[in-house]
Amino acid sequence: MPDMRIKVPGTPETQYEIVIGSDILPSAWAQIKAAHTQYNRFVVTDEHVIAAGHLDALLGGRPAPYFAIKPAGEVSKTIDTAVAIVEAMEKAYLGRDTVVIALGGGTVGDIAGFAAAIFKRGVPVVQIPTTTLAQADSAIGGKTGVDSSVSKNAFGAFWHPAAVYIDVAVVKTLDDRQYRSGLVESVKHGLIADAGYFEFIEGHLDEILARDPDTLEMLARYNCRIKGSVVEEDPFEKNKRRILNYGHTVGHAVEAASDYEMLHGEAVAVGIIAAGLIEIELSLSKPSQLDRIRAIFERLGVPVRVPASMVQEKLIDLMRHDKKAVDQWPRFVLLDRIGQVRCEDGQYAVQVSREVVVNVLKKLR
Ligand SMILES: NC(=O)c1ccc[n+]([C@@H]2O[C@H](COP(=O)([O-])OP(=O)(O)OC[C@H]3O[C@@H](n4cnc5c(N)ncnc54)[C@H](O)[C@@H]3O)[C@@H](O)[C@H]2O)c1
Ligand SMILES: [Zn+2]
């Protein structure tokens, strides 16, 4: 039984199902087969996911063609890897009657989704996210792509999945830093859309850090409901979807300035603190609200400041390249309060003066 359905107007699939549970990997294969009876299956995964035993759990001894991304991680998120996947599918005599199964974190999901989008003008992709980041965020929403030598996600397509299977037990094998970093996107969802969810996280940090499956299922349901409803309203990011970018204006700049030494969620944590400081400067919120957010991040062990070595001018320059920038000056998603994003003249990314941004960057040290 699907736990949720996401409707995506303007796409051939029109809607897709999300299945959430613990230890559902072994049954997912049969479900995918039943949903795509006339289809062949091709799995894209990576070396760490295989080493952790998740490919074996999915296949359950059945022979199936697969592509293992190596080395795992962002370095392989290139057009060359996408080409290698497409060619591996051709060599396996696969045609348009193939469903691509992305088993892995956001890197695998983005590359496999993109390969599925371009293989013979597009075949369905099923997302099986295996990191906290991918389960909360990247597997839902249909954004796929690979990096160029100049920027992240330079090649890309909106390619909404045919289905998403979230097995919360698979994150047990994730290393601690990755696990904690990915949780920042869950906190972000509470902040932008649901004060009750934020309070749930605040009250269940012990269970979350212990990777308790029941608690993680609750998180998955909240995340899918929140991200799903935003995606349904704005599947191609015309306006509303920008709220998912909360904390990302400064976050992306910090991530790039660290030469990607900081993980995405870690940089977004700093970016969320920056957004909170802007809200205080603009008298939109009180310091006590930011203290609550900071306390969660400190428990998660993610950074809440920029390293002293990070030059302010560099961060500002990076922010001027942000996709929300207008006239080369970034716009910011801000909160009216926890659970409610600010909207000015119908726009969710709002103008903030240079003076305020500079002040906030100083306070972030
Ligand atoms: N499409 C979107 O909407 C979207 C949203 C956010 C981020 N992203 C993208 O996601 C990527 C980051 O994703 P990520 O943080 O999941 O990183 P990742 O996919 O690189 O995974 C992190 C590491 O964990 C390993 N791993 C994955 N699952 C594991 C498991 N269960 N057990 C043990 N090891 C495991 C991976 O092999 C890798 O080494 C970035 O490229 C980012 O641009 C996309
Ligand atoms: Zn993010």
Given this model, what pLDDT does residue 127 score?
Answer: 98
- Residues 268, 189: contact at Cβ < 8 Å? no
Given this model, what pLDDT does residue 300 score?
Answer: 98
How far is residue 151's CA from residue 298's CA, in Å, rounded to a whole number?
30
- Write the residue with the smallest CA distance to atom 19 of ligand 1: 105
Residue 110 beta carbon below 6 angstroms from any ligand 1 atom = yes
Given this model, what pLDDT does residue 12 score?
Answer: 67
Q: Which residue, 120, 111, 117, 122, is CA-closest to 146?
A: 111
- Residues 84, 68: contact at Cβ < 8 Å? no
Radius of gyration of the chain from its Cα atoms, rounded to whole angstroms: 20
**Which ligand 1 atom is at minimum distance from the Cα of 113?**
1
Q: Which residue, 275, 276, 277, 254, is CA-closest to 266?
A: 254
How far is residue 72's CA from residue 78's CA, in Å, rounded to a whole number?
12
Given this model, what pLDDT does residue 322 score?
Answer: 83
Q: Which residues are catalytic?
A: 121, 143, 185, 227, 237, 241, 245, 248, 252, 264
Query: What separation in Å is there between the alpha carbon of 344 and the centre of ligand 2?
Result: 23
Q: Which residue, 301, 295, 303, 294, is CA-closest to 258?
A: 303
Given this model, what pLDDT does residue 117 score?
Answer: 98
Helix (H, G, I), strand (E, B) or coil at 167: strand
Residue 134 beta carbon below 6 angstroms from any ligand 1 atom = yes
- Residues 129, 62: contact at Cβ < 8 Å? no
Residues with Cβ within 8 Å of residue 17, at least 6 apart in sequence: 2, 4, 5, 6, 163, 164
Q: Which CATH architecture has domain 176-365?
A: Up-down Bundle (1.20)
346 burial via Cβ count (<10 Å: 0-12, 13-18, 19+): exposed
**Domain 4-174 shares a fold with domain 176-365:** no
Given this model, what pLDDT does residue 2 score?
Answer: 63
Q: Does pTM top 0.85 for this prediction?
A: yes
**Which ligand 1 atom is at minimum distance from the Cα of 152?**
43
Judged by its nearest atom, the ligand closest to the C-alpha of residue 47 is 1
pLDDT along the chain (365 residues), means of 10: 74 84 97 93 98 98 97 96 98 97 98 98 97 97 93 92 97 98 98 98 98 98 95 89 96 93 97 98 96 98 94 92 86 97 94 94 93
H-type helices in the chain, by residue range?
A: 25-35, 47-51, 54-59, 79-91, 106-118, 132-133, 176-182, 184-193, 195-203, 205-209, 213-233, 248-257, 264-281, 287-300, 312-319, 354-363
Tokens of 296: 């969660």
How far is residue 114's CA from residue 222's CA, in Å, rounded to a whole number?
26
Tokens of 109: 């999901």
Q: Which CATH architecture has domain 4-174?
A: 3-Layer(aba) Sandwich (3.40)
- What are the backbone angles phi and psi of residue 156, rounded to the nearest 5°? -170, 170
Domain ranges in the chain are 4-174, 176-365
How far is residue 320's CA from residue 326's CA, in Å, rounded to a whole number?
9
Q: Are strands 340-341 and 335-337 parallel, antiparallel or unpaired?
A: antiparallel
How far is residue 314's CA from residue 336's CA, in Å, rounded to a whole number?
29
- Write the residue with the smallest CA distance to atom 2 of ligand 1: 138
- What are the backbone angles phi and psi of residue 66, rounded to the nearest 5°? -145, 160
